């Protein structure tokens, strides 16, 4: 699946941005609180209105402190997938259950420096694992290929039947990097600047999907 990130779109025209990528699978929505990351974006009111303005499933990536308190609300207002950071959560399992109870898929995200091994045993409580391939906070950064062993590890657990999960990569995904991520075992690809920085965002989505499909190893 390709999930264009609206972080790289024009925030005054979010509905138009969604329309420009109508062939995408998910629309990735970066929620930042200026505490967990040094950047500030949008919160529930905008997500709610965006959900009303597009048919695309919303993939909310919460880069916020205290996700235990806030995550379920994003499910209730219509997000299709709600991902929060394990580094910020106090009780990741309870938070995942709250998201699922609200009607969304639950996602767990790990920053580049956060190992996956300690969390393998709770991943069955989740539908999505988001492996950050940049430090969270800003679009347009360089893809960190050194993070791909975590994607491979997660893919091995899925392949061996221990887990059922979407494996999502986020940060620096472009025509130059998507094949490496797909070959490592990712099956959801977030792309901000590579989509909304293109002359034709819709065509950029199709091109990324074609590349990922050809390189995929799931
Ligand atoms: C960064 C965000 C990403 C960002 C990706 O913290 O989580 O979703 O939009 O942007 P690009 O694709 O430009 O790296
Ligand atoms: Zn993101």
Angle (nearest 5°) at CA 199 between 45 and 41: 25
* pLDDT single digits (tens) 4-49: 999 999 999 999 999 999 999 999 999 999 999 999 999 999 999 9
What are the φ and ψ backbone dihedral angles of 125, each rounded to 5 degrees? -85, 0
Give the closest residue (by CA) to ligand 1 atom 7: 136
Q: What is the pLDDT of residue 212?
A: 98
Nearest to 201 by CA among 30, 56, 34, 39: 56
* pLDDT single digits (tens) 162-174: 899 999 999 999 9
Q: What residues are labeled active site?
A: 30, 170
Average pLDDT for 131-153: 98
* pLDDT single digits (tens) 51-105: 999 999 999 999 999 999 999 999 999 999 999 999 999 999 999 999 999 999 9
- For residue 170 and ligand 1, the question of a CB distance below 6 A is answered with yes
Q: What is the pLDDT of residue 112?
A: 98
Judged against a pLDDT cut of 80, whether residue 218 lies above it is answered with no
Pairing of strands 58-63, 128-132: unpaired
Q: Which ligand has the nearest atom to the CA of 60?
A: 2
Q: What is the pLDDT of residue 151?
A: 98
CB-CB contact of 41 with 7 (8 Å): yes
Which residue, chain included where needed, has tokens 């690809």? 189
Per the structure block, which two tokens stand in for 195?
């989509």
Nearest to 62 by CA among 87, 93, 91, 97: 87
Distance 160 CA to ligand 1 centre (A): 30
Average pLDDT for 141-152: 98
Task: Kindly give, in sequence order, each residue whose CB lies less than 8 Å from that of residue 54, ignoring residues fewer than 6 positions away.
Answer: 15, 18, 19, 27
- Domain with 151 in it: what CATH number? 3.20.20.70
- For residue 168 and ligand 1, the question of a CB distance below 6 A is answered with no
Of the residues 2, 5, 62, which should be mutated to test ligand 1's pocket, given the most ligand atoms within 8 Å of the CB? Answer: 5
Cβ count within 10 A of residue 75 = 21
Q: Which domain holds residue 142?
A: 2-215
| Predicted confidence band of residue 217 (pLDDT cuts 50, 70, 90) | confident
Task: Kindly give, in sequence order, each residue whose CB lies less than 8 Å from that of residue 202, ignoring residues fewer than 6 positions away.
Answer: 20, 21, 22, 23
- For residue 111 and ligand 1, the question of a CB distance below 6 A is answered with no
* pLDDT single digits (tens) 113-137: 999 999 999 999 999 999 999 999 9
- Number of domains the chain is built from: 1
């Amino acid at each position: 699946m390709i999930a264009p990130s609206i972080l790289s779109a024009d925030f005054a025209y979010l509905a138009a941005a969604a329309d420009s990528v109508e062939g995408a699978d998910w629309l990735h929505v970066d929620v930042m609180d200026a505490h967990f990351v040094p950047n500030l974006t949008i919160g529930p009111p905008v997500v709610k209105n965006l959900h009303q303005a597009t048919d695309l499933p919303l993939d909310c990536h919460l880069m916020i402190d205290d996700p235990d308190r806030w995550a379920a609300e994003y499910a209730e207002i219509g997000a299709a997938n709600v991902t929060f950071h394990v580094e910020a959560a106090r009780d990741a399992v309870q938070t995942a259950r709250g998201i699922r109870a609200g009607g969304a898929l639950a996602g767990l995200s790990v920053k580049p420096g956060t190992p996956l091994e300690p969390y393998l045993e709770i991943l069955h409580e989740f539908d999505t694992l988001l492996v950050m391939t940049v430090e969270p906070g800003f679009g347009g950064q360089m893809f960190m290929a050194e993070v791909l062993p975590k994607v491979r590890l997660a893919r091995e657990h899925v392949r061996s039947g221990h887990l059922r999960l979407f494996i999502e990569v986020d940060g620096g995904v472009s025509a130059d990097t998507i094949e490496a991520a797909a070959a490592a075992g990712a099956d959801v690809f977030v792309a901000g600047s590579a989509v909304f920085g293109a002359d034709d965002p819709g065509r950029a989505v199709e091109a990324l999907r074609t590349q990922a499909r050809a390189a995929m190893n799931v």
